[in-house]
Amino acid sequence: MGDQAALMNVEKLAARIPNGAKIAVPPDYTGVAMELTRAMLRRGVRGLHLVCVPVSGLQAELLIGAGAVDTLETSAVTLGEYGTAYRFVSALRENKFRMLDATCPAVHAAIQAAGKGIPFMPLRGMLETDLLKQRPDWKVIDNPFTNGNDPIVLLPAIHPDISIFHAPYADRDGNVFIGRRRELLAMAHASKTTLVTVEEIRDINLLDTEEGAAGTLPAAYVGGIAAAPRGAWPLNLWDIYDVDEAHIAQYSEMARSQQGFDLYVDMYVRQRRAAE
């Protein structure tokens, strides 16, 4: 990424996500690029393979409800205390997408494998579970370093095309401050590129100090940045702003039906009222 060439608005950033892309997204508490997600829906993105690292909530709900997801790889989609993820549940029951069920450790391990440039990662936690029946791509072998019966599961590496997330700030060289959110670093390492929205672009160099560099995703992993103040809304961004609980409750009620969901999209996505 060079200087200001990859600094753009959210709509142009969304245009860089092609139909059919495999995209990795973080959990709600880490920094979700909700304004970028809304821009993707305005663009009419389709055919996504959505990888939740390791879970998702409102972001997955919007993409699934809008018919943008063909494959979902996750350990959960939930709105937590705000209610059922109705569009996810409905689409799953109606087989509207291919479901690749997983566990949190499995998703993290497979992402780490891609970041390390290895084809698979071993993990034991799924042995003797029904997940192995649902995931023929997960292979069980005997541990080659023992002589006895010692099974272990091999998980193929997950290689996203694009990771997307929202962060507090970036510098004009394309370095992004992610603090201690190491899952964001793992996602970026595993992906071909990363697209980021931030609260602001700062006239600093995040790599100038040890303290800044320690919490920074270097520009080498970043393919585009857009400034999007309150870009995680209605979700929270770390300790910078809180979840808009009233809005999430409103979404949860409207999304009980596809008609209500479509009305929500018209109100808060198509008309771009999200930040008001």
Tell me, yes or no, whether 137 and 220 share the same domain: no
Residue 18 scores a pLDDT above 80: yes
Does residue 2 have a pLDDT over 50? no
141 in the same domain as 194: no
Whether residues 26 and 68 share a domain: the answer is yes
What is the pLDDT of the chain when averaged over all its residues? Answer: 95
* Contact present, 10 and 33 (Cβ < 8 Å): no
274 pLDDT band, cuts 50/70/90, is very low
Q: What is the pLDDT of residues 185-209, one digit of tens each?
A: 999 999 999 999 999 999 999 999 9
The answer on 89 and 192 residing in a single domain is: yes
Lowest-pLDDT choice from 139-148, 221-230, 265-274? 265-274
Whether 19 has a pLDDT exceeding 70, the answer reads yes
The reply to whether 50 and 70 lie within a common domain is yes
> Residue 227 is part of which domain span?
7-107+159-270
Q: Do 142 and 164 fall within a single domain? A: no
Lowest mean pLDDT among 24-28, 165-169, 215-219, 268-272: 268-272
* Residue 113 placed within a domain: no
pLDDT of residue 271: 80
Q: By CB neighbour count within 10 A (0-12 exposed, 13-18 middle, 19+ buried), where does 159 fall?
A: middle
2 falls within a domain: no
Q: Give the mean model confidence (pLDDT) for residues 27-37.
A: 97
pLDDT value at residue 114 = 98
Would residue 62 count as lying in a domain?
yes
Q: Are residues 51 and 80 in the same domain?
A: yes
Residue-level pLDDT at 265: 98
Using DSSP bridges, classify how beta strands 193-202 and 55-56 pair: parallel, antiparallel or unpaired: unpaired
Based on the fold, state whether residues 94 and 219 are members of the same structural domain: yes
> Looking at the domain assignment, is residue 189 inside a domain?
yes
Inside any domain, residue 275 = no
Q: Is residue 276 in some structural domain? A: no
Q: Report pLDDT for 272.
A: 61
Tell whether 143 and 258 lie within a shared domain.
no
Residue 167: CATH number of its domain: 3.40.1080.10
Closest CA relative to residue 169, chosen from 210, 203, 220: 203
pLDDT tens per residue across span 47-59: 999 999 999 999 9
The confidence score (pLDDT) of residue 148 equals 81
Report the pLDDT averaged over residues 252-262.
Answer: 98
Whether pLDDT at 244 is above 60: yes
Same domain? For 89 and 186 the reply is yes
Amino acid at 110: A
Span 71-99, average pLDDT: 97
Are residues 163 and 91 part of one domain? Answer: yes
Asked whether the beta carbons of 42 and 240 are under 8 A apart, the reply is no
Q: Is residue 112 part of a domain?
A: no
Please report whether residue 115 resides in a domain: no
Total domains present in the chain: 2
Is 169 in the same domain as 152? no
Query: What Rg, from alpha-carbon coordinates, does the chain have?
Result: 19
